[in-house]
Structure 1
Amino acid sequence: MNKNIAKLREISEKPERIILGLMSGTSLDGLDIVLSKVKGTGKISTIEVLHFITIGYDSVLRSRLEAIQSKEKVDMRVLTYLHTELGDLYGAWIMDALDEWGFEIEDVDLIASHGQTVYHAPAETEGKLNATFQMTDADHIAQRTGIITISDFRQKHTAVGGEGAPLAGIFDEVMFRAESQNRMLLNLGGIANFTWLPSVESGDQVISADTGPANTLVNEAMQKYFEQSYDEDGNTASKGTVHSELVRYVLLEPYFRKPFPKTTGQEDFRLTYVEELMEGHQIELSPEDLVATLTAITSQSICRSVDEVAGDQEFECYVSGGGVHNRTLMDDLRRRIPQADFKPFDELGIPSDAKEAAMMAFFANELVAGEGFSIPGITKEKVHLGKISLPG
């Protein structure tokens, strides 16, 4: 028997596993690395974050990734090379992190790698296939580290009829649904997504979907006009004036009228799209006013989704992702959603910035040791997410 298969069986039978989760989002900020201890499986799973670090992408790597992300035409040589290069780079960063934390390779059971999303293409018409592509070669991670690596979590979701996103709904329902309290888990990455968790006793259905842009439009504008990667604390937006008509024009975009569940990406929401609207309606804005308007687009599109799923019900809202640090955005959300009790995601036991990497560890744990999950609205049969790469 392949020694790694035997090891995988041994890992699957352990009462708890040390799993290292990796996440890099569409904002291209860098790689989140979470070392976690996962006990049990399925609805009796618990996750303890032992260590967490974000390793930022330098400007050169970020530019190279921007050149291929969400583009309909890319240089295939660059795409192919980056797929391999990121795997090797992640492996090196993992080794450095483990050394810093005082962990040996033998201490880690699994690596769970989300990969870098290159293109997200949900079907536009019934009968067509949903598709999504995340690069970063997991064989290179496994070979560089010597640790069994799980990757490509979104593909099984599309194979059984889902859109490949957001995966958070599965994780959120298992880990954070409350018996008598309504909750919403809101993630503000490049794209904003939420999981609506009505109380168990209500009997209502859990809903998970993307609301539209979160940081992606603001980040593009900050890079173009201010040579900054993001709007720190929302300071630039706070100095501008919102152009309400431009907000209205963007919110007429067909995506906002699609029923839940739904997903989107930077393929639909890019700064060039907003600039074309501005040109068509002869709108001229200062850079500060543009950033303020883009921030309002994020806020108001989120509020539309909240109104649709929660109505006037009171609920706890736990926010994660980079947008939680944007005070202008968060203040506007609090003002527009008074029925929500906004709380730091950390109160749920996982650091806000570590949530998505920890979620990858959760899915890897379930693939190796659990019975899998049904996906509401898609399949009642239980499925496992992820593919296995063996070292050596």
Structure 2
Amino acid sequence: MAKYIGLMSGTSMDGVDAVLCEISPCECTTLAAHSVAYSGELLGALNSLCSEGPDELNSVGIADRLVAETFAQATLGLLEKTSLSPCEITAIGSHGQTVRHHPNRDVLSAYFAASSIRGFTCQIGDPNTIAALTGINVIADFRRKDIALGGQGAPLVPAFHNAVFASEQHYRALVNIGGIANISILYPKCEQLPPQGFDIGPGNTLMDQWINLHLNHAFDNNGAWAKKGHPDQGLLQQLMLDEYFHLPAPKSSGREYFNIDWLSNTLADRFECSAHLLDKETENNLAPEDVQATLLALTGSTIANEIQRHVPIKNNHNQISEVITCGGGALNNTLMSYISEALEGYHVSDSHTLGIHPQQVEGAAFAWLAYAYINDIPGNVPAVTGASKPAVLGALYKSA
């Protein structure tokens, strides 16, 4: 089997994951992984670039190179860890770092009339730099072909999930809980149906941003802070009224939508001004840890709701459907307990069940998308993204 490396940094921006895979037409096996964190300077710039601000073009140009250097560093660390040379790797599949995702033309411009606005997505991390620094051919720019074909450009993982994880008899829901939570609904192979999938809504991003605001922590380790609070049902219901949760698929989202500003708008009637977001406790006794618990409940509830809506508890042969989680959220025991309790009757586990670490699944997906590019296999699923047709995704950037 050929060896590929998948490079991934998601909406949580908690680092770059490099995943080494062996891939054949029927199998994708993860062999090793290595992670590298962004520098504080670069992470701050990336967070700023997710929203409009000054000096954007220069900052994007610089960040494009620095992200690529970080991706290359993760690759070289993985090669050193596995004692492999660049010539033993067929190709790198690089997702890049998303800084903007607006496939629905939901932006304003000082230069263009509304009729001229086009949907777009922007992932940075110059693949030429990655190829030059690693000596390995790079496949990148996976999302824009799908958008050119009228699709959302996301999620792209359902094709990989279906190729590698579909069961012969069971329904399976693969839920990636990164910054944004997305779902792949896999039908039993015997039904010969394409997968469904879409972005559910916030995964870890709101919880990460809220704890960073109050405790200066990058994330809520194992949901410990949320566990100290109590979900506020009124706030939860108000958050779940947002129109995104009620849109039909295909749909995709990101930090451009689900962020502290989005949360603050809902909290406006509970806080007199934005400065009170830092208060230990609000006038109606809604403490910051209660908000964190509510945000965890929002993630868990929206995931459970979509699974119950789209995946039957049992198939026609009385076999129980499986819910398999991956991404950083799968390592949050408090969140996983919430999801398991909400999905009574389903088999709920994480991707260890399928032989792959939860934090390696998305990296493996982009290794597989590189394999798909080289072997002329469509990487999108029109039923998922809304594209007009299946397409081979990505472009080749040669090392020499």
Q: TM-score, normalised by structure 2?
A: 0.87
Q: How far apart are the structure 1 equivalents of 2:350 and 2:203? A: 17
Match of 2:345 among 318, 335, 339: 339
Distance apart, 1:83 and its partner CA: 0.4
Q: How far apart are the structure 1 equivalents of 2:54 and 2:288? A: 29
Superimposed CA distance per residue, residues 69-117 of structure 1 (whole angstroms, 9 cap, x where no aligned partner): 2447663211110001221232233223312321112222211110000
Using the TM superposition, name which of 330-339 and 55-64 deviates more. 55-64
Superimposed CA distance per residue, residues 196-245 of structure 1 (whole angstroms, 9 cap, x where no aligned partner): 11223346652101110010000001111011100111110010011111
Is 1:389 aligned to residue 381 of structure 2? no
Residue 33 (structure 1) aligns with? 18
Is 1:154 aligned to residue 154 of structure 2? no
Q: How far apart are the structure 1 equivalents of 2:258 and 2:72? A: 32
Given that residues 38 and 70 in structure 2 are in contact (C-alpha distance below 8 angstroms), is that contact kept between their aligned partners in structure 1?
A: no
Structure 1 unaligned residues grouped into runs of 5+:
1-15
Q: How far apart are the structure 1 equivalents of 2:222 and 2:399? A: 42
Q: How far apart are the structure 1 equivalents of 2:331 and 2:11? A: 17
Distance apart, 1:320 and its partner CA: 0.2
Q: How far apart are the structure 2 equivalents of 1:311 and 1:207? A: 14
Residue 322 (structure 1) aligns with? 328
Aligned residue pairs total: 373
Given that residues 68 and 79 in structure 1 are in contact (C-alpha distance below 8 angstroms), is that contact kept between their aligned partners in structure 2?
A: yes
Residue 119 (structure 1) aligns with? 100
Residue 22 (structure 1) aligns with? 7
Q: How far apart are the structure 2 equivalents of 1:167 and 1:374? A: 6
Q: What percent of counterpart residues are identical?
A: 29
- Equivalent residue runs for 1:85-104 within 5 Å: 85-104=66-85
Amino acid paired to 1:117? T
Using the TM superposition, name which of 231-240 and 54-63 deviates more. 54-63
Amino acid paired to 2:354? L
Q: TM-score, normalised by structure 1?
A: 0.89
Match of 1:51 among 32, 40, 56: 32
Amino acid paired to 2:72? G
Using the TM superposition, name which of 309-318 and 295-304 deviates more. 309-318
Is 1:216 aligned to residue 205 of structure 2? yes
Q: How far apart are the structure 1 equivalents of 2:77 and 2:252? A: 35
Q: How far apart are the structure 1 equivalents of 2:133 and 2:366? A: 20
Is 1:251 aligned to residue 240 of structure 2? yes
Q: How far apart are the structure 2 equivalents of 1:285 and 1:62? A: 31
1:343 aligns to what SS in structure 2?
A: strand
Q: Structure 1 residues 124 and 82 mapped into 2: Cα distance closer, same or farther (>3 Å)? A: closer
Amino acid paired to 1:61? L
Residue 294 (structure 1) aligns with? 295
Q: Structure 1 residues 89 and 202 mapped into 2: Cα distance closer, same or farther (>3 Å)? A: closer
Amino acid paired to 1:319? T
Using the TM superposition, name which of 104-113 and 189-198 deviates more. 104-113
Q: How far apart are the structure 2 equivalents of 1:162 and 1:380? A: 7
Distance apart, 1:350 and its partner CA: 2.3
Given that residues 375 and 382 in structure 1 are in contact (C-alpha distance below 8 angstroms), is that contact kept between their aligned partners in structure 2?
A: yes
Given that residues 36 and 49 in structure 1 are in contact (C-alpha distance below 8 angstroms), is that contact kept between their aligned partners in structure 2?
A: yes
Is 1:367 aligned to residue 373 of structure 2? yes
Given that residues 152 and 387 in structure 2 are in contact (C-alpha distance below 8 angstroms), is that contact kept between their aligned partners in structure 1?
A: no
Given that residues 99 and 122 in structure 2 are in contact (C-alpha distance below 8 angstroms), is that contact kept between their aligned partners in structure 1?
A: yes
When the two chains are superposed, the root-mean-square deviation of aligned CA atoms in Å is 2.2
Amino acid paired to 1:39? S
Q: How far apart are the structure 1 equivalents of 2:116 and 2:240? A: 27
Residue 144 (structure 1) aligns with? 133
Residue 67 (structure 1) aligns with? 48
1:383 aligns to what SS in structure 2?
A: coil
Q: Structure 1 residues 74 and 296 mapped into 2: Cα distance closer, same or farther (>3 Å)? A: farther
Given that residues 16 and 70 in structure 2 are in contact (C-alpha distance below 8 angstroms), is that contact kept between their aligned partners in structure 1?
A: no
- Equivalent residue runs for 1:181-220 within 5 Å: 181-202=170-191, 206-220=195-209
Distance apart, 1:254 and its partner CA: 0.8
1:67 aligns to what SS in structure 2?
A: helix
Q: How far apart are the structure 1 equivalents of 2:71 and 2:357? A: 21
Q: Structure 1 residues 365 and 251 mapped into 2: Cα distance closer, same or farther (>3 Å)? A: same
Given that residues 3 and 90 in structure 2 are in contact (C-alpha distance below 8 angstroms), is that contact kept between their aligned partners in structure 1?
A: yes
Distance apart, 1:370 and its partner CA: 3.2
Amino acid paired to 2:298? I
Q: How far apart are the structure 2 equivalents of 1:59 and 1:295? A: 26
Q: Structure 1 residues 379 and 238 mapped into 2: Cα distance closer, same or farther (>3 Å)? A: closer
Q: Structure 1 residues 71 and 301 mapped into 2: Cα distance closer, same or farther (>3 Å)? A: farther
Residue 11 (structure 1) aligns with? none
Q: How far apart are the structure 2 equivalents of 1:208 and 1:129? A: 23
Amino acid paired to 1:57? Y
